[in-house]
Structure 1
């Protein structure tokens, strides 16, 4: 099988090439290219059986239609999220879409807690000050998490891992989800409004759906405690960014940690240091001293990259052999 690998970074090539050394993958041929998969680049897939894409790429109807015209039969998402993929159009065109539903839940959960701690204790600011020989403490005041209440929105693998971390910090853990995770016997399941009212730290770990799009908005923010810490390592669309900015300006949040955001497509994973951001929302978020922003790196650990490459290659074998897979959308 010939696969065109879009949006290649050096770490992608390193871990996939390592995986390809296994004998059972000898019939898989991967060609790596730097451009992301978009309607403008989809024609590059001519002559390939499959494409490999990531969460920051555009696999909407137009892209899928072009891939179909190019003869592509398989879309491999090397990630868990697929809200950027028109799955219905792919099915209509006879294209199979497969993903990596779980790679390292702990990687994302640990990053979520790192965001909470960094934004809370202003570690990023303290580091920059120290490099300038400024060791003053003004503006670095934080709050204890011990004996505070954590609100976990979504208790799948990642949310459950975050719940366990919070429990280990000595926090009371509230959770909200349609399905109650039986492994979280220390957590109390409540409705979303109760969680908003009672949580000192709110961490989002739910998938992106029509129902929860912009679940964090002016109305839900108003129900939160004053001085709440908000973390999002799930999907940018869960938060209505303009409303979040208004809440930050109103002093509602003690700290905000974001690894995902609505405007990330296009410049996430890219070096934009010599450019002026043409989207004011991101610039405004970066201007707040109590906001910590990272570039969708929650997944970015050695263990997670190994799992992503392994599962993706296994998805290829499953497709070639015509077997059913729970990773198929």
Structure 2
């Protein structure tokens, strides 16, 4: 199987090259370009494309891939909201994903955002480097005894529950498929009203698009902390700005952003940022944004490479597809 690997980053290649040693029947050609209608032609003569979260796999792209003879879409991530599944089915393209690589990696990043926002360690770091040891403005709060609401309790949500329980937090979970655990299962409105911290871990769909909007903020406590490491479009960015300005939202930690495909995974330091909403968000002192690095650990990248190539091998060998979306 020959794979066209889009949105290739140099940090990924060592992990995939190492994993390739176990699959002599698979070859990879790396393309730095994102998969778009304009770049789909690069997949000519390949059996499959391998894509990441911000690649575009819509109707126009899938139709081109089908004409080019591509038979499979390999996602090296868990989410598949960027793939037009009905069109892929119509053109008989298999779609496979990596359903879980390191849930702990993302869960631990959530806690890092929570603690950094609360204890202001990022600000303290800069102060100390300038010989400023003043504690004024750095007052934080304990996670112990706080109520943390987790929306979506899959493997990442469960990993976060375990960590927060260790801190002594009271954990609320809203998930129609949640099973009893070390948390209290509740409805969304109750979670929004009672939580001191809210963390999002649900997939992006028509039902969850802009799940956090003006109406949701109105139900929250004043000064609430919101963390999103799932998908950017779960949160209405304009509503976030309003909530920050009114101080309803006391802290905001983002590892994802609704329009991140134009920004993340690239160095724009020599450019003028044209995204006014993003620029406004980062202007708030109580906002912390990281560039979709929640997954970014050695363990996670190793697992992503291994499972992606296992998926490709199952396709090539005509075996049962363990991680098939379509």
Q: Do the structures match in fold with TM over 0.5?
A: yes
Alignment equivalent of 1:154, drawn from 148, 152, 155: 152
SS of residue in 1 equivalent to 2:11: helix
Alignment equivalent of 1:197, drawn from 181, 193, 199: 193
Q: Does 1:3 align with 2:10?
A: no
1:293-328 C-alpha deviation (Å, 9 max, x unpaired): 000111100000010000000001111122232411
Counterpart of 1:143 in structure 2 is 141
How far off its partner does 1:205 sit? Answer: 0.5
**Residues in 2 aligned to 1:160 and 1:263: alpha-carbon distance in whole angstroms:** 28
Check the 8 A contact 1:15/1:306 in 2, yes or no. Answer: yes
Q: Does 1:212 align with 2:188?
A: no
**Residues in 1 aligned to 2:286 and 2:161: alpha-carbon distance in whole angstroms:** 23
How far off its partner does 1:225 sit? Answer: 0.7
How far off its partner does 1:252 sit? Answer: 1.1
Check the 8 A contact 1:96/1:328 in 2, yes or no. Answer: yes
Check the 8 A contact 2:149/2:195 in 1, yes or no. Answer: yes
1:148-183 C-alpha deviation (Å, 9 max, x unpaired): 11111111100011111111110111111101224x
Check the 8 A contact 2:311/2:322 in 1, yes or no. Answer: no
Counterpart of 1:134 in structure 2 is 132
How far off its partner does 1:136 sit? Answer: 2.1
Calculate the aligned-residue CA RMSD, in Å. 1.0
Counterpart of 2:66 in structure 1 is 68
Check the 8 A contact 1:156/1:181 in 2, yes or no. Answer: no
**Residues in 1 aligned to 2:63 and 2:242: alpha-carbon distance in whole angstroms:** 40
How far off its partner does 1:66 sit? Answer: 1.1
Structure 2 runs not aligned, ≥5 long: none
Q: Does 1:81 align with 2:79?
A: yes
Alignment equivalent of 2:310, drawn from 310, 314, 317: 314
Q: How does 1:1-329 map onto structure 2 within 5 Å? A: 1-22=1-22, 25-182=23-180, 184=181, 186-329=182-325
How far off its partner does 1:47 sit? Answer: 0.8
**Residues in 2 aligned to 1:113 and 1:4: alpha-carbon distance in whole angstroms:** 35
**Residues in 2 aligned to 1:287 and 1:315: alpha-carbon distance in whole angstroms:** 42
How many positions carry a matched residue from both structures?
325
SS of residue in 1 equivalent to 2:261: coil
Check the 8 A contact 2:240/2:249 in 1, yes or no. Answer: no
**Residues in 1 aligned to 2:178 and 2:315: alpha-carbon distance in whole angstroms:** 33
**Residues in 1 aligned to 2:248 and 2:141: alpha-carbon distance in whole angstroms:** 15
Alignment TM-score, normalising by the size of structure 1: 0.97
How far off its partner does 1:126 sit? Answer: 1.7
**Residues in 1 aligned to 2:272 and 2:123: alpha-carbon distance in whole angstroms:** 22
Alignment TM-score, normalising by the size of structure 2: 0.97
How far off its partner does 1:85 sit? Answer: 0.8
**Residues in 2 aligned to 1:131 and 1:47: alpha-carbon distance in whole angstroms:** 54
1:197-218 C-alpha deviation (Å, 9 max, x unpaired): 1111111110111111111011
Q: Post-superposition, which runs of at least 4 consecutive aligned residues in structure 1 deviate over 4 A?
A: none
